[in-house]
Amino acid sequence: MMKIVNTLRNALGSARKDIENMRDEIADLKAKRATIDAAPVDLVEAERRLDFETQRILQQTMPTAGKGPGFGALIERDRRFYASDFDQVFNRSPFAMFCAMFPEQTREFMLRNLPTNGLAEAERTKRIKALDAQVLKLERAEETALREIEAAMGATMPRRPDASPEVLLAGDDALPG
């Protein structure tokens, strides 16, 4: 009888170790995903975003900028410059003022200070999809193992707090086995 108990303990210990290894691998893959997700964009995308943001900010802050002198919104009233108007716009958005007054220099400065080794969006998406597929595969295997232990032992096994609800709620036929 003791031999059977020891065999069951060893099997359960081995299964728990396998589950711990899966959980470690899932954590590692999720950390890699977070790193890729937070990686800087490539220079082409950075330029596109910078140009988009510059135009958006200028349109919001200085609607007539770009129609004549760089800070046309400030002299629109009577074609005279008023320091108080300048101060109000500058205080509201210094970036917009620099973009309006010195568009090329501001753009060059911003681009010069951006990372140049970023990921292209297509590459980022490809890598994230591959990692997500690996995580899903491991989560399904983990859930299958947990359910098998529960069925054999008649006890509930704890799940990871970040486990995918899709996997936790899946029927047994949707999991590998």
> What is the domain partition of the chain in residue ranges?
1-39+120-177, 41-118
Q: Mention every residue, 6+ apart, whose C-beta is less than 8 A from residue 65.
A: 58, 59, 71, 72, 73, 96, 99, 100
The pLDDT assigned to 67 comes to 47
The pLDDT assigned to 66 comes to 46
The pLDDT assigned to 3 comes to 82
The pLDDT assigned to 81 comes to 59
The pLDDT assigned to 72 comes to 54
Tokens 């501001």 correspond to: 106
Q: Please, what are the averages of pLDDT over each run of 10 residues along the chain (177 residues)?
A: 76 85 97 95 90 84 51 56 67 81 89 87 96 97 92 88 94 86
Tokens 């947990």 correspond to: 146
